[in-house]
Amino acid sequence: MRKQSVAFANEEISKEQYEAYNIKAIDAKWRFSIPIMDWTIDKEKDIWLRLCRKHINGIEEGTIATWNFYWKGAQFTVFTKQLPAPKQKAEMENYAYIQILDLYMDDRYRQGNVNKLFPVEFPKEFAAQKRQILKNFKEALEVSNAGLGIVSTTDRYEIDLIYEEKLI
């Protein structure tokens, strides 16, 4: 495990953590043939991020990613799309321009085509914490190096995250 500049760290998931967070049930929902056994976690704040899958569509269409995001007892699924970098940042290494396409609580699963934009409706019971939840998601995403996690060779990505057409 590498040291990180914020409280989040990329780690392998221990057997105890796997059971405590009921990750087997999460994996069953996504029908993983091989469980993903690493994540980006802030143990003190009880927040973690785990990449479920990436759908690589090419640079023009963007890469769609599905994430498990656990925030202080609430389990979210987040769909993101990596967009082409803005002109002024196009040559930057370790940079990603990412848009949140959909975010929902796992007990309110929606089906649909994630390649088109859903009207993102933030869960009402978390409206007061919306800014903090999105900030924590972005921090975890940066430390995970946009999903590379423990296999990454760099310390941290810079990410511009778009939600409801605004930078987070």
Strand-pairing partners, residue 51, are 67
**pLDDT number for residue 91:** 83
Q: Computed from CA positions of residues 13, 98, 139, 131, in that sequence, does the dihedral angle turn out positive or negative? A: negative
**pLDDT number for residue 148:** 72
Cα–Cα distance measured from residue 55 to residue 57, given in angstroms and rounded to the nearest whole number: 6
Cα–Cα distance measured from residue 87 to residue 21, given in angstroms and rounded to the nearest whole number: 41
Global pTM reads 0.82
Q: Compute the average pLDDT of residues 108-130.
A: 62
Q: Say whether 69 sits in a helix, a strand or coil.
A: strand
Cα–Cα distance measured from residue 51 to residue 147, given in angstroms and rounded to the nearest whole number: 6
Q: Compute the average pLDDT of residues 137-145.
A: 91
- In tens, the pLDDT along 53-78 reads 877 665 556 688 888 999 998 888 88
Closest by CA position to 36, among listed 163, 156, 150:
150
